[in-house]
Structure 1
Amino acid sequence: MSTKIERVNRDIEKIKSKISELQTKLKELERQKTELENLAIVDAVRGVDISLNDLADLLKAMKTGAATSGQLGSKSVVPTDTPKEDSQE
């Protein structure tokens, strides 16, 4: 083989090795990310004072798109047109 081909073959092997190392590192980082996300979810759930049944209902409602406000039960209605009182005497 010519020296140019040998050199290119060595470069190919180096690159393949580097790709393999980076893929391994990527998988580990993705695993760490998932673990951290899971811990954040567990902390968030533990920080909310809600029964397990209500939590299950909330998650089901969120999955179906029924809960958009994150609020269980009906929303409070606040009137938007309240007459202003004159402070003149």
Structure 2
Amino acid sequence: MANKLDKINSDLKKARAKRDEWDTRVKELEKKYKETENTLIHEMVHAANLTPEQLALLIQKASVSVPEELPNEYNTNEEDNLDEE
């Protein structure tokens, strides 16, 4: 009986160690993703030769003119289309 508990305890410790490794890996990848995303945004702004003020104005105008959700006629979800038939 004690051997069974020892085995489970050993497996549990190994699983926790693996989880910690994966948590660290996820955090590293999230950081790398965010840094790369920021670099790409910076490169696009730099390539467009925009000042911070121009970029702010562009973002402001874009957020006003972009619809929140596409109208139903643009819905490409097949399940929704099947319901209509």
Q: TM-score, normalised by structure 2?
A: 0.68
Structure whose residues are more often helix by fraction: 2
- Residue pairs, 1:34-53, within 5 angstroms: 34-53=34-53
Q: Secondary structure at the match of 1:50?
A: coil
Amino acid across the alignment from 1:32: K
- Residue pairs, 1:1-89, within 5 angstroms: 2-62=2-62, 65-68=63-66
What is the rounded CA distance, in whole Å, between the counterparts of 1:19 and 1:40 in structure 2? 31
What count of residue pairs does the alignment treat as equivalent? 66
Give the gaps of 5 or more residues in structure 2.
Answer: 67-85
Match of 2:72 in 1: none
Give the gaps of 5 or more residues in structure 1.
Answer: 69-89
Q: TM-score, normalised by structure 1?
A: 0.66
Q: Taking structure 1 as reference, are residues 11 and 51 closer, same or farther at Cα in structure 2, changes over 3 Å only?
A: closer
RMSD (CA atoms): 1.6
Which one scores higher on RCO, CA 8 angstroms, separation ≥ 6? 2
Shift of 1:57: 0.7
- Determine what percentage of the aligned residue pairs are the same residue: 30
Q: Taking structure 1 as reference, are residues 51 and 17 closer, same or farther at Cα in structure 2, changes over 3 Å only?
A: closer
Shift of 1:61: 1.9
Match of 1:78 in 2: none
